[in-house]
Amino acid sequence: ELNLKALASISGNKKVEMIHLKEIKSLTGYIRGGVSPLAMKKNYTTYIDESAFQFSFIIFCAGVRGLQLKVDPNDLLKAMRLVFGKLTVK
In a 13 Å sphere around the CA of 20, the CA atoms on its Cβ side amount to 2
Could you tell me if residue 22 is inside a domain?
yes
Domain count for the chain, please give it. 1
- pLDDT value at residue 78: 87
Could you tell me if residue 34 is inside a domain?
yes
- Rounded CA gap, 84 and 52, in Å? 9
Amino acid at 45: T
- pLDDT value at residue 68: 93
pTM of the predicted model as reported, rounded to 2 decimal places: 0.81
Could you tell me if residue 90 is inside a domain?
no
- pLDDT value at residue 23: 94
- pLDDT value at residue 76: 87
CATH number for the domain harbouring residue 68: 3.90.960.10
Q: In which residue ranges of the chain is pLDDT below 70?
A: none
- pLDDT value at residue 8: 98
Instruction: Quickly list DSSP for 1-66.
Output: -B-HHHHHHHHT-S---PPPGGGHHHHHSS-TT---SSS-SS-PPEEEEGGGGGSS-EEEE-SSTT
Structural domain harbouring 44: 4-85
